[in-house]
Structure 1
Amino acid sequence: MFLRLILPLLLALFPALPAAAQSAAIGFGQGDFDRSAPVEVTADNLEVDQASGRATLTGNVVIAQGDLRLSANLVTVDYATTNGNRTIERLNAEGDVLIVAGQDAAEGQTAVYTLGTSDILMTGDVVVTQAAGTLAGDRVAINLNSGAGTVTGRVRTTLQP
């Protein structure tokens, strides 16, 4: 049951993850992902609470598909029930969060991915590293549909000439 619920989340999580740059569209990993590749989930522990609609993965959590990887100390999956069907609503990653896509990487202390709006919010000394340079701030908000992002909180960047 759990794999049937989490698999759509994992497939939705791995489309194109754009990096954030103040209201600019910057492709994170260039969106070239094999969505048919197997999704691998590893963690030290898994707890599923059917009553609350939450699954919790703890300890060395790694979710990978092809060249795309999400790792964190803790990942919770929140579900919503609509017309009797349970769907994944939100993915919450905490503790040393790292998202890697090919040569691109984003790291921070937390990440929340809301599937309905296609928004990712990373907080806690976020650093996005791409071939063109680095971008950092306290908070990075990304919309997967538009590719637009905003960095706030003492924004720092390094650009290669």
Structure 2
Amino acid sequence: MLRVLVFLAVLALPVSAQETQVGFGGGGHDASAPVEVAADNLEVDQATGRATLTGNVVIAQGTLRLSAGTVTVDYTTEGGNRRIERLNAAGDVLIVAGQDAAEGQEATYLLDSSEILLSGDVVVTQDGVTLAGDRLAVNLATGSGTVSGRVRTTLQP
């Protein structure tokens, strides 16, 4: 019922607002958890510190799941150790965190800050309610997110 009230409040906002706050994933995501990867192909460029995964890419970290056609993994080196800095996904991106799901065309996941930016015809599904917009910015650690750019939803009576 609370989500319906939130969506009603969103509809009452002036059109110029075009942004709404959403919860996503429930918060408490552990960005230090191991990252599991599956893909049809892997190409590694040691010189640039970049790995490119293509074909049925699925990446999991704790309760977070990301799937896409292509994912580029950027590494950083600190104290002689390489670690994942960011994931850049493209092509029918699907992100699932707990009971929440979001779809779009491109996503960037910054592991240090647990932030994801999803763009390109974004659709967020939570508890059977669908919210759409141009972009979704989510902080997985806090569970807070913002859908922006021509936000729209359908309310069920």
**Structure 2 length-normalised TM:** 0.74
**Deviation of the 1:69 alpha carbon:** 2.8
Partner Cα distance (2:74, 2:52) in 1: 9
Structure 1 residues 27 and 160, CA gap change in structure 2 (3 angstroms): farther
SS at match of 1:23: strand
Q: Does the 8 Å CA contact 2:24/2:97 hold for their aligned counterparts? A: no
Q: Does the 8 Å CA contact 2:21/2:144 hold for their aligned counterparts? A: yes
Aligned-partner residue type, residue 94 of structure 1: A
Alignment of 1:2-41 (within 5 A): 22-24=20-22, 26-28=23-25, 30=26, 40-41=36-37
Alignment of 1:11-160 (within 5 A): 22-24=20-22, 26-28=23-25, 30=26, 40-64=36-60, 68-101=64-97, 103-160=99-156
For residues 103-132 of structure 1, what are the alpha-carbon distances to aligned partners after superposition, in whole Å with 9 as ceiling and x for unaligned? 432100011001222210000000011115
For residues 35-88 of structure 1, what are the alpha-carbon distances to aligned partners after superposition, in whole Å with 9 as ceiling and x for unaligned? 9x9965321110111210111100111224676532100011101112222121
Give 5+ residue unaligned stretches, structure 2: 1-18
Give 5+ residue unaligned stretches, structure 1: 1-20
Partner Cα distance (1:95, 1:83) in 2: 34
Partner Cα distance (1:126, 1:143) in 2: 16
Partner Cα distance (1:65, 1:52) in 2: 24
Aligned length: 138
Kindly, what percent of the aligned residue pairs are identical? 72
For residues 129-158 of structure 1, what are the alpha-carbon distances to aligned partners after superposition, in whole Å with 9 as ceiling and x for unaligned? 111511110111112233222211110123
Aligned-partner residue type, residue 45 of structure 2: D
**Deviation of the 1:27 alpha carbon:** 3.9
Aligned-partner residue type, residue 92 of structure 2: D
Select the structure of larger CA radius of gyration.
2
**Deviation of the 1:102 alpha carbon:** 5.1
Structure 1 residues 102 and 115, CA gap change in structure 2 (3 angstroms): closer
